[in-house]
Structure 1
Amino acid sequence: MNSSDRRLPAGGRIDRAQPIDFSFDGRKLYGYQGDTLASALLANGVTLTGRSFKYHRPRGIFSAGPEEPNALVTLGAGGRREPNMPATTLELAQAMIAESQNRWPSLGFDLQSINGLFAPFLSAGFYYKTFMGPSRRAWMFYEHFIRRAAGLGRAGAEPDPGRYETRHAFADVAVVGGGPAGLSAARAAAAAGARVALIEQDFLLGGQLLSERPDGEAAAWLKATEAELMGLPNVAMLRKTMAFGTYDGNTLGLIERNDDPAEEGAARQVFTMLRARSIILAAGAIERPLVFSNNDRPGVMLASAARAYLNRFAVLSGRRILVATTNDGAYRTAFDLAAAGAEVTVADQRGDLTAALAAEARRLNMTIRSGTQIAGLRGGHAVKAVKLAGPGGNSEIACDLLCVSGGWSPTVHLTAHLGVKPVYRDDVDGFIPGGFPAGHFGAGAMMGRFSTADAIDGGHHAGIEAAAFCRKSAAAPAPARLDLGEAAPDAFRAIPFVGRGKAFVDFQMDVTTKDIELAHREGYESVEHLKRYTTLGMGTDQGKTSNFTALSAMAALRHETIPQTGTTTFRPPYAPVAIGALAGRAVGHHFKPFRLTPMHDWHVANGADMLEVGLWMRPYFYRAAGRDVNEAYITEMRMVRGAAGLMDISTLGKIDVQGPDAAIFLDRVYANGFAKLPVGRARYGVMLRDDGIVFDDGTTTRLSESRFFMTTSTAKAADVLSRLEFLLDTAWPDLRVAVTSVSDEWAAMSVAGPRSRDILAAAFPQLDVSNDALPHMGLAEGEFGGRALRIMRLSYSGERAYEIYVGATAGETVWRHLLEAGAPFDLRPYGVEALGALRVEKGHVAGPEIDGRTALDDLGLGRMVGKRAGFVGDVLRRRPAFQASDRQRLVGLECTEEGKRLRGGAILFMPGDTVAGHGRGRITSVTFSPELDRYVGLALLAGDVAVEGSEVLAAYPMKAETVRARIVSPVFLDPKGERLHG
């Protein structure tokens, strides 16, 4: 048949006024708006679309939906390249680029098709039998070659320029499936007052109704129902959206696709987590193929697919057609094909057909062969003839299309994702849902109700029940009737016929009847073992067309019924989901979320150079202080030491601890005591891990007898909260304590410097901030603009300093107010680089020192614990190894070489040591000290040589240099704390 003959001159649901050009394997082709890639390929006479996985046999279009095992293509080019896409589900778009897969050098001539000659050696389990060998070395040798041969499509290596979105949606009733059952269910639920989300993977609603003639009553019913739903404000219709999984809490995972390369800027795919009060599943059914020799050749197609291509896309897939069936449903396809001008023969494995079917067949001049089955076929890249075995013996009939129908399998996948096993029903010879969780309902062919009238009626009742579950009970008028006269389901079982040539059960994974027989002989009789040993159902189609046939074959070999044999486990996703869709925007620089403080916009607008600190964006330095960070942080340090500086500390972890036993709890969590802390006072505390290593430090303020306000380091905020919750749940469940993260509730800022008290007095004149009223580690509470205000006198810099806490929404307001009030006192903001440098000068430990390897005594903090006991980590912190004389301990270092600097990470050696290996210790933090006019640093150095006044060598391998330094106290500035307490 000529390619021009395949597209009928009229009919279909395509828009002939909108032609579309696309390419397949570099060949420019044409289709219309409303085509799928598969229908456009068929219309252009393309019957060969790919090669099979193992044997590289030629394959063509087999279905018209997501169950397609053969026609997998790579879509797009460059970074937009996406492999293994079923051509049957892709809406044709202008300039679409598609190419076939798993072939070399070309689709028509594939050198790896020679694998078919080695079929006896490539049977089930051949990987294990052939490549494992007597030792691991055998597999290591073969692995490279196997990986090169494995797979179907090839993913692109370039960055994907597409944009992927993640959304969260909510509905009262979610309806999965836009066929007659789903449409009726959505209509009834919406009429009852529920908010409805109608989900359909196709770009058109209608399901099997789209395969009916576009000028018939089915089309009229569909048009009227769709218009009615579009007019309802409480119905959202999600087309081109696949429900790939059902999850706890009535949650559905959805993927919406947009494969139009012309829509620049549009999200390529959208991943939606839809949470519904109730779910109606109306996923329809999948037609089963027949098993016979060479049943995988291009030109073999499901009967329902041939009907869909004819009536929906106006594509007549063949002229001389054989329809092979075991049920009455395929006759609808045969009649439509014959009415379109094809020469049609029906081979029915059953006996005589009904009088009505026989009369219609005679009217259309069709040939019916009862009791006849397919024995094999001839043809390579296309079907040429089919061999039949019937009552009169064997014969052969020439044809260019073979339509097959072995019955229907309800699509139960989504109903089983929550663990409910499907159950077998004799009258439909298939599995239906084995039950539903609360709030889940089913309708249509998925429930074994295959007629359109039953589907509409079942959908209507499911919609009413689902709405009632959501407490929506307005009257829902009955839907318009639509009876297409489909026959009742026929449970006649297809009989495999295997002659010469392979008879395939799983087309995509190249699993044959002989593979199943071999698995049975070798003891792999469980369906789960069968699946893994033969790889049956493990392709991208997940065995949608092969699963039931395989179960039937194994049941026959075991002399059991299908229910006794059982089914494999259905798991999400129902169809392949791109990793990009699941990741959304969380890729590259956005792999982790950005967290912004309440004053972030002010920082950016006022010249702050921002720095990522964990998940937070913090001011690194302000350009008003210098051209770069090296210049600016020195200026900002001098500003804080000389007058005052304002720092955004909103990133600190903030935890509310309250309850009658809160003080007891904190006494056990912290290494230093908190039970006797007076109300209105704060205390610096250190937490240990169970093994005695320092976990985190921070300050906690007592707000009342039973309530504390804890702050943690920025990096450990989430870890500390998790740790506290863990201890309350496991170690001390008897304590009456509640811990709550309030990190996002409070904006926080610090005013530090010798003029800080004057600034606070000017900013908050209603508060007494004198030394007596607000001493070091004191608390003052008040209001600002009607919002709660907390001021703690705490210092991280060594200067007099105050931390101000206010509700997050008022954060920028208070920040601006402080700058305005502090302007006469030369108050300016400073960044985290200056903050870190100030704390080094004062000898405060932080993340580089509390790195998960140091204990209390290592950091010089053991003195504040004294003889306390009974806190977390107390026992193991006393281990002998922690008391060893050569254990590394905190020291200060001053650079003694003119023109050189200390560097963080440098390895420390004593004079005379060989500069190699791990040395005696390491520098943890470094800064240039304007006060001392030299580089200083904190270091961890072996205690047996850490003598103040001694000299060490700091070796920095990456710079191939050594610098001399003097060991000093880690407190470089104001060791008596006069500035702090002034």
Structure 2
Amino acid sequence: MTSRRLGEIGPLSFSFDGKPYRGRDGDTLASALLANGVRLVGRSFKYHRPRGVWGFGAEEPNALFDVTENGKTTPNLRGTTELLRDGMALRSVNAAPTAASDRYGALDRLARFLPAGFYYKTFLWPDWHRFEPSIRNMAGLGRLDGAHQPAAEVATVSAQCDRLVIGAGPAGLTAARAAAGLGSVMLVDDRVLPGGSLLWCEAEVEGRAGPDWARSITDDLQAGGHTVLSRATAYGIYDHNLVAIWERRENLPDRVWRVRAKEIVVATGAIERPLVFADNDRPGVMSAEAGLYYLKRHDVLVGERVAVFTNNDSAYRTAGELARAGARVILADTRRQAGVVAPEGVELRMGASVEAVYGARGVEAVSMDKRRREADAVLVSGGFTPTVHLFCQNKGKLHYDEKLGALVPREPVEGMRVVGAANGAFGLDAALSDGAGEEALGETYGIAPLWPKSSGKSRQWIDFQNDVTLKDVELAARENFRSVEHLKRYTTLGMATDQGKTSNMNGLAAMAAITGQGIEATGTTTYRPPFTPVPLTAIAGRRRGELFNPVRRLPLEARHRAAGATFREYGGWLRPAWFGEGTKDEAVRREAERARETVAILDGSPLGKIEVMGPDAGRLADFNSYNTLSTLKPCRIRYGFMLTESGVVYDDGVSLKVADDHYLVSCSSGHVAGVYARLEEWRQDGFDPGRVFVHNATPQWATLTASGPRAKALVEALSLGVDLSDEALPHMAFAQGRFGAVPARVARVSFTGDRSYEISVPSRAAGALLDAMLEAGRPLDAGLMGSEALLLLRAEKGYLIAGKDTDGTTMPHDLGVSGPRSKRKDEFMGKRSLFTEEAERENRQQFVGLEAETLLPTGAHGVERVSEKRRSIGFVTSSYQSPTLKRPIALGLIERGLSRVGEEIELVHLGQTFRARISTPCAFDPEGVRLNA
């Protein structure tokens, strides 16, 4: 193949579909292939038609490659944004064995039998599953390399700034400079160098060459302490101005930034859209701006005999530059009059159109005004589509501007400003003015929109990647898939990695013409993140292997190990399950008996300690809880549930009222992150965030519990400065004291049914507190207790564990707690769901105890016989051999269980049959005498 590089081809070696080539430093994969005269770079998804490079950035629909480096293959890299490196091996996607000789290319001959939606109709008979394996094998573009498992090296960086500017073109640079004096600025751009179109469109700004002017602004920003990121793509905007940014770094792991900005400035530019004509998808047909870009940035002449086809003034610059570079250029302008002067050396034909392309594997000629013209490249410009994906992700709305032939932002979105070409301010002067916050000059670049029109039997391509033609849009309309969302799914228009960047406008304009309702009324599909494909490694970050769900560790882990603890994971925390020698059963029985007879010491540090503070703290605490908390007196504690929005029990726990404007929510260990997240979500979405604040203090505090008949004597010996009398500190109360030089909170709550005290101190003092408790407990026969004994003790009392003794349907009245449901008048999370038909169903599963002669297996199903068949009526949730009661105990969820106390039921498990009597959940000390013993 003939080189199309103006100058040296370059020192870097690479291969494409097994053939060797060379390229330059700074090349993209696409520019390197074009420089080597390679036009056919892949095959389309559906018909396997030949495809060439169309664009030069994220909008590229065709040039996707599986790239092998150092023996590892990464699929579906976009050739226009991926930088060339020495030794790369490129393979075309969706082609077998190569793009040039694809055995599936024959599918194009069957196109008339494979219109849009054919798979919905064709493979129903005799059975879809007969065709499914073959179809799935052909689906997709690139292929995964099973041996390539990228390391978990992508760091996640959280940042805040006053203004986040997305896009370092003329408008974005101007906006960033203007914002620099008003606070912190972060400027991000997906290219290596700042400047946007100034890098390939020669222009002076403020007396300096465009690239030099752009570089001076970024240098000044960095010198002023602001952040500038290159090769960084803002791919999604989420609630509360959270922007996700993927940053690629040479010789360093990628990073994902999570940025919250007071104001987001969207300066993402615009994408040149195709013109639609017969066989406009052939290799060699490309964006006019792309042709200019490859010439000015990479010294690549995309063709020697070039036809430029346009409906606006912007393509004139491209035609002139190509002619100056030595190409023979003919310019077909659909308009009768242009707004710019015809370039020197260019054959200009006004009122002319390209009707069709000739050449099976690439452009060989074009039909222009029904006359054949020799050409090896066709550069088209159908106008520009503002890149408004991020604006629309932030709930922005668009309107159609007739003068611009484009959908542009309609009304501002709070906390966001759109500037430059993304705002319809086309042209350098307009972009600079708009970026500076001044009135844009309103350049229209003389566009006369040319939307797709049916022209007989020829196929005109709208979506290059997904093989959607104008006829497919017409078929969708005939079959009443006229909504753009239905059009998208029926035809696959705008799906896959392209996400409609080059196809959506032509597709919706075609549907608008068919339905006669106008482009704005037709609307666009919903823009969802990510704007461009993002590697799963970037989204997952370092959450892989042991880091996928990192085990949380106690401050006293080393001390527990030294004491002979056996560790297990509970709710994501590595905690002592039991201590000492012997089997698990022996150790658990020993610890449970000590807790009932003397005093046991438990490490309860993972229990949630989430502070809710501020004037509206009581309102938020009440809304989060099934039980009212604001009616508590200060220094009192209340047990209750937290529900999901569907009314299901999410967690249980106690809440402490420190003051009218200060609450402490103590949830189960495994739900700390979830409870904190829901409190923070509702703080922001349902309350005035300036009047209530949520802080997760769980890691800052360690909690040690003394439980048993001698617990009070042990705590008294610690000299915490707290009156432990029952009058001063009754059950479900707490007091503030001191442990040496640090604060200590003493809460009288129990999860065992015996008198218990939870002592919380700063984590740094946990070791000293444990030493003091062991020393004070020595004459009291105190000892350490693990989680397994605690679980047994709570089951004796009938205390539930959310997620173990409840399931995804359990509501509070199923647990015998119906007071708030019937009495509370204010709103709380899940309230309305407690009164649905499902919630009122009589045969709901309810929390009960189960008495049996033998130990029941956890998970055993209660059954009843209906017409000689057995039907499940619930199951066993917890089951233990009680050393205190000297018999088995069990808890379960059984249909109508609360009204069936005393009834005997049958249970089955793995072929075994058991009998049990339904009882109340509490099997030990039902009067609660021991809480005050």
Shorter-chain TM-score bucket reads 0.7 to 0.9
Letter matched to residue 235 of structure 1 = H
| 1:836 alignment counterpart | 791
Deviation at 1:716, TM superposition (A): 7.2
| 2:756 alignment counterpart | 801
Larger deviation, residues 109-118 vs 824-833? 824-833
Deviation at 1:538, TM superposition (A): 3.1
Deviation at 1:87, TM superposition (A): 1.2
Instruction: Specify which of 347, 371, 386 is matched with residue 394 of structure 1.
Output: 371
Whether contact under 8 Å (1:907, 1:918) holds in the other structure is no
| 2:212 alignment counterpart | 221
Q: Distance in 2 between matches of 1:673 and 1:226?
A: 55
| 1:417 alignment counterpart | 393
Instruction: Specify which of 827, 849, 862 is matched with residue 890 of structure 1.
Output: 849
Q: Distance in 2 between matches of 1:660 and 1:274?
A: 28
Q: 1:696 to 1:423 in 2, by over 3 A?
A: closer
Letter matched to residue 99 of structure 2 = L
Larger relative contact order (Cα-Cα within 8 Å, sequence gap ≥ 6): 1
Deviation at 1:712, TM superposition (A): 5.8
- 1:201-220 paired onto structure 2 within 5 Å: 201-212=190-201, 218=209
Q: Distance in 1 between matches of 2:669 and 2:918?
A: 30
| 1:330 alignment counterpart | 315
| 1:196 alignment counterpart | 185
TM-score normalised to structure 1 length: 0.75
1:507 correspondence with 2:464: yes
Whether contact under 8 Å (2:860, 2:876) holds in the other structure is yes
Letter matched to residue 782 of structure 1 = G
| SS in structure 1 of the partner of residue 223 of structure 2 | coil
Deviations 1:812-871 (Å, cap 9, x if unpaired)? 654454345445656543220122234456665555556689999999x89x99xx9968
Q: Distance in 2 between matches of 1:523 and 1:944?
A: 55
Instruction: Specify which of 235, 244, 269 is matched with residue 244 of structure 1.
Output: 235
Deviations 1:322-370 (Å, cap 9, x if unpaired)? 3333444333323333333444444444568799545x32xxxx54455
Q: Distance in 1 between matches of 2:715 and 2:159?
A: 47
Q: 1:10 to 1:31 in 2, by over 3 A?
A: closer
Whether contact under 8 Å (1:279, 1:441) holds in the other structure is yes
| 1:626 alignment counterpart | 581
| SS in structure 2 of the partner of residue 312 of structure 1 | helix
Instruction: Specify which of 276, 280, 284 is matched with residue 269 of structure 2.
Output: 284
Deviation at 1:773, TM superposition (A): 6.7
Q: Distance in 1 between matches of 2:682 and 2:403?
A: 58
- 1:953-964 paired onto structure 2 within 5 Å: 957=910
| 1:404 alignment counterpart | 380
1:122 correspondence with 2:104: no
Deviations 1:462-499 (Å, cap 9, x if unpaired)? 3x899xxxxxxxxxxxxxxxx9xx99712234487958
| 2:505 alignment counterpart | 548
- 1:455-494 paired onto structure 2 within 5 Å: 455-459=431-435, 461-462=436-437, 489-494=445-450
Q: 1:738 to 1:536 in 2, by over 3 A?
A: closer
- 1:271-670 paired onto structure 2 within 5 Å: 271-350=256-335, 357-358=342-343, 360-361=344-345, 366-389=346-369, 394-397=371-374, 399-459=375-435, 461-462=436-437, 489-494=445-450, 501-519=458-476, 530-554=487-511, 570-578=527-535, 580-585=537-542, 608-614=565-571, 616-621=572-577, 625-626=580-581, 629-630=584-585, 632-637=587-592, 640=595, 644-652=599-607
| 2:102 alignment counterpart | 110
Whether contact under 8 Å (1:37, 1:92) holds in the other structure is yes
Instruction: Specify which of 176, 193, 199 is matched with residue 186 of structure 1.
Output: 176
Deviation at 1:750, TM superposition (A): 0.8
Deviation at 1:148, TM superposition (A): 4.4
Deviations 1:362-401 (Å, cap 9, x if unpaired)? xxxx544555432333322232233332xxx62332x333
Deviation at 1:647, TM superposition (A): 0.9
| 1:86 alignment counterpart | 78
Letter matched to residue 48 of structure 1 = L
1:43 correspondence with 2:32: no
Deviation at 1:769, TM superposition (A): 4.1
Whether contact under 8 Å (1:505, 1:512) holds in the other structure is yes
Q: 1:574 to 1:679 in 2, by over 3 A?
A: closer
| 1:253 alignment counterpart | 244
1:52 correspondence with 2:44: yes
Deviation at 1:56, TM superposition (A): 1.2
Whether contact under 8 Å (1:682, 1:779) holds in the other structure is yes
Letter matched to residue 858 of structure 2 = G
Whether contact under 8 Å (1:68, 1:88) holds in the other structure is yes
Q: 1:721 to 1:503 in 2, by over 3 A?
A: closer
Letter matched to residue 170 of structure 2 = P
Letter matched to residue 253 of structure 1 = A
Deviation at 1:617, TM superposition (A): 0.6
| SS in structure 2 of the partner of residue 783 of structure 1 | strand
| 2:707 alignment counterpart | 752
| 1:72 alignment counterpart | 64
Deviation at 1:772, TM superposition (A): 7.9
Q: Distance in 1 between matches of 2:71 and 2:814?
A: 52
Structure 2 segments unaligned to the other structure (5+ residues): 826-830
Deviations 1:37-95 (Å, cap 9, x if unpaired)? 11122233332111112221100111111111211223459997654442111122455
Larger deviation, residues 202-211 vs 25-34? 25-34
Whether contact under 8 Å (2:386, 2:408) holds in the other structure is yes
- 1:704-853 paired onto structure 2 within 5 Å: 744=698, 747-753=702-708, 755-764=710-719, 766-769=721-724, 781-785=736-740, 788-797=743-752, 800-806=755-761, 814-819=769-774, 821-822=776-777, 827-840=782-795, 846=801, 848-849=804-805
Whether contact under 8 Å (2:848, 2:891) holds in the other structure is no
Deviations 1:862-901 (Å, cap 9, x if unpaired)? 9x99xx996899999xx999999x9995245565xxxxx7
Deviation at 1:200, TM superposition (A): 0.8
| 1:904 alignment counterpart | 858
Q: Distance in 1 between matches of 2:628 and 2:260?
A: 47
Q: Distance in 1 between matches of 2:135 and 2:924?
A: 66
Q: Distance in 1 between matches of 2:809 and 2:335?
A: 78
Q: Distance in 2 between matches of 1:379 and 1:36?
A: 26
Q: Distance in 1 between matches of 2:347 and 2:57?
A: 29
Letter matched to residue 317 of structure 2 = R
Q: Distance in 2 between matches of 1:692 and 1:100?
A: 52
Q: Distance in 1 between matches of 2:266 and 2:681?
A: 40
Q: Distance in 1 between matches of 2:540 and 2:23?
A: 33
| SS in structure 1 of the partner of residue 197 of structure 2 | helix
Deviation at 1:671, TM superposition (A): 10
Whether contact under 8 Å (1:78, 1:158) holds in the other structure is no
Letter matched to residue 207 of structure 1 = G
Letter matched to residue 198 of structure 1 = L
Whether contact under 8 Å (1:80, 1:162) holds in the other structure is no
Structure 1 segments unaligned to the other structure (5+ residues): 467-482, 896-900
Deviation at 1:409, TM superposition (A): 3.0
Q: Distance in 1 between matches of 2:351 and 2:308?
A: 13
Q: 1:24 to 1:755 in 2, by over 3 A?
A: farther
| 1:480 alignment counterpart | none
1:177 correspondence with 2:132: no
| 2:828 alignment counterpart | none
Larger deviation, residues 650-659 vs 145-154? 650-659
Q: Distance in 1 between matches of 2:419 and 2:680?
A: 45
